[in-house]
A and B are shown apart, each in its own frame.
Chain A
Amino acid sequence: MLKILGYPDKYSVAPGEAISFMVSSEDGEDYSASLVRVICGDANPEGPGLQHAPVKSSIESTYPGRKQDIDPGSYMRAAVPQLDTPTSFSLFAIVWPTLLKRDNQVLISKWDAASESGFKLFVTDNGQLTFVTADGGKSQSVALNVRMLERQWYHVHCSVDLDAGEIVLSQSPVHRYAFTDDEAAGRAALKVRPAFVGAPVHVAGCPAAGGRVDDHFDGKIDSPAVLRGVHAATTQAALSLRPIDNRLRADILAYWDFSIGIDTIDVTDIGDLGNHGSLHEMPVRGMKGWNWTGEFHRWTERPDHYGAVHFHHDDLYDAAWDVAFTLTIPDDLRSGNYAVRVANGENTPDETRDYYIPFFVRPARRSKGTQGKRDRIAFLAPTGAYMAYANHAEHITAAEAERTIGRLLQFGHTDIYMHQHPEVSGSLYDSRADGSGVCYSSRLRPVLNFTSQYHSWLGGHGSALWQYNADTHLLSWLEAKGFDFDVVTDEDLHADGVDLLDDYRVVLTGTHPEYYSTDMWNALKAWIDQGGRLMYLGANGFYWRIAFHKQLPGVIEVRRAEDGIRTWAAEPGEYYHSFTGELGGLYRRIGRAPNVMCGIGFVAQGFDMCSYYRRAPDAENPRAAFIFEGVDDEIIGDFGLIGGGAAGLELDCITTTLGSPPNTLRLATSENHTQAVMLVNEEFGVVPMNLGGDQNDKVRADLAFYETPAGGAVFSVGSISWCGSLPVNGFDNNVSRITENVLRRFADAAPFVPPESESD
Chain B
Amino acid sequence: MAYRIDPDKDRPFIEEFRKNPIGHHSPGLMRVLNAMRFDAGDHKPILIVRKPFREWVLGVMPMDRTQPIVAEMDRVFTSREEAEWAMFCRRWEAHTGERLNMPFRTGDEERGSD
Point out residues on A near B: beta carbons under 8 Å: 43-46, 349, 396-397, 399-400, 402-403, 406-413, 416, 419-420, 422, 453, 455, 461, 608-609, 674-676, 694
Contact = CB atoms under 8 A, between A and B. Distances in A.
B75 interface: no
B45 A608 contact: no
Kindly name the residue among A43, A402, A412 whose own CB sees the greatest number of chain B CB atoms within 10 A: A402
B45 A408 contact: yes
A511 B37 CA distance: 29
Interface residues of B, number: 36
Given A410-B47, A411-B46, 17 more contacts: A396-B65, A403-B37, A406-B25, A407-B80, A408-B47, A408-B58, A408-B83, A408-B87, A409-B44, A409-B47, A409-B61, A411-B47, A413-B49, A416-B48, A419-B65, A608-B23, A674-B25
B27 A43 contact: no
A214 to B, nearest CB: 16
A412 B61 contact: no
A396 B38 CA distance: 14
24 contacts: A43-B53, A46-B53, A399-B38, A400-B38, A402-B37, A402-B38, A402-B44, A406-B22, A408-B46, A409-B61, A410-B47, A410-B48, A411-B46, A411-B61, A411-B69, A412-B49, A413-B49, A416-B48, A419-B61, A420-B68, A420-B69, A453-B52, A609-B22, A694-B27
Contacts of A410: 46-49, 56, 80
A359 to B, nearest CB: 24
B72 interface: no
Contact of B61 (A43, A44, A396): A396
Contacts of B27: 675, 694
B96 interface: no
A651 B23 CA distance: 18
Given A403-B37, A422-B65, A609-B24, A408 B80 contact: yes
Nearest to B49: A412
A412 B52 contact: yes
Contact of B84 (A396, A403, A408, A411): A408
B51 to A, nearest CB: 6
A676 B23 CA distance: 10
Interface in B35-74: 37-40, 44-53, 55-56, 58-59, 61, 63, 65, 68-69
A529 B40 CA distance: 51
Contacts of A44: 53
Contacts of A43: 52-53
B61 A45 contact: no
B69 to A, nearest CB: 5
Given A408-B84, A411-B48, A45 B53 contact: yes
**Most chain A CB neighbours (cut-off 10 Å) among B37, B51, B63, B84:** B37
B38 A674 contact: no
Contacts of B87: 408
A461 B46 contact: no
Contacts of A461: 22, 80
A461 B69 CA distance: 23
Contacts of A675: 25, 27, 30
Nearest to B39: A399
B33 interface: yes
**Which has the most chain B C-beta neighbours within 10 Å: A408, A412, A608?**
A408
Contacts of B55: 349
Interface of B: 21-25, 27, 30, 33-34, 37-40, 44-53, 55-56, 58-59, 61, 63, 65, 68-69, 80, 83-84, 87
Contact of B40 (A399, A413, A453, A455): A399
A608 to B, nearest CB: 7
**Interface residues of A: mostly helix, strand, loop or mixed?**
loop
Given A396-B65, A403-B37, A416-B69, A411 B22 contact: no
Given A45-B53, A675-B27, A407 B22 contact: yes
A694 B55 CA distance: 33
B46 A403 contact: no
A396 B46 CA distance: 10
A420 B63 CA distance: 11
Contacts of B69: 411, 416, 419-420
Given A407-B80, A408-B87, A410-B80, A608 B52 contact: no
Contacts of A416: 48, 69
Shortest 10 CB-CB contacts between residues of A and residues of B = A408-B47, A349-B50, A412-B49, A402-B37, A403-B37, A410-B47, A43-B52, A409-B46, A407-B22, A411-B46
A453 B49 CA distance: 13
B52 A407 contact: no
Contacts of A422: 65
B52 A406 contact: no
A668 B42 CA distance: 45
B93 to A, nearest CB: 17
Contacts of A413: 49
A412 B71 CA distance: 12
Nearest to B76: A349
A474 to B, nearest CB: 21
B34 to A, nearest CB: 6
A239 to B, nearest CB: 40
Contacts of B40: 399
Contacts of A399: 38-40
A467 to B, nearest CB: 18
Contacts of A608: 22-23
Nearest to A404: B37
Nearest to B68: A420
Give the residue among A45, A416, A461, A609 with the most B Cβ atoms within 10 A.
A416
B5 to A, nearest CB: 15
Contacts of B83: 408
A414 to B, nearest CB: 10
Contacts of A408: 45-47, 58, 80, 83-84, 87
Contacts of A45: 53
A52 to B, nearest CB: 15
B95 to A, nearest CB: 15
B61 A420 contact: no
A420 B65 contact: yes
The winner among B49, B50, B69 for most chain A CB atoms within 10 A is: B49
Contacts of B22: 406-407, 461, 608-609
Contacts of B65: 396, 419-420, 422
Contact of A407 (B30, B58, B84): B84
B46 A406 contact: no
Contacts of B30: 675-676
Contacts of B68: 420
A407 B81 CA distance: 9
Contacts of B37: 402-403
B60 to A, nearest CB: 11
B35 to A, nearest CB: 10
Contacts of A407: 21-22, 80, 84
B38 A406 contact: no
A326 B57 CA distance: 40
Nearest to B65: A422
A406 B23 CA distance: 8
Nearest to A397: B63
A348 to B, nearest CB: 9
A760 to B, nearest CB: 48
A609 B47 contact: no
Which of B46, B68, B87 gathers most chain A CB within 10 Å?
A: B46
A44 B25 CA distance: 25
Given A419-B65, A675-B25, A349 B51 contact: yes
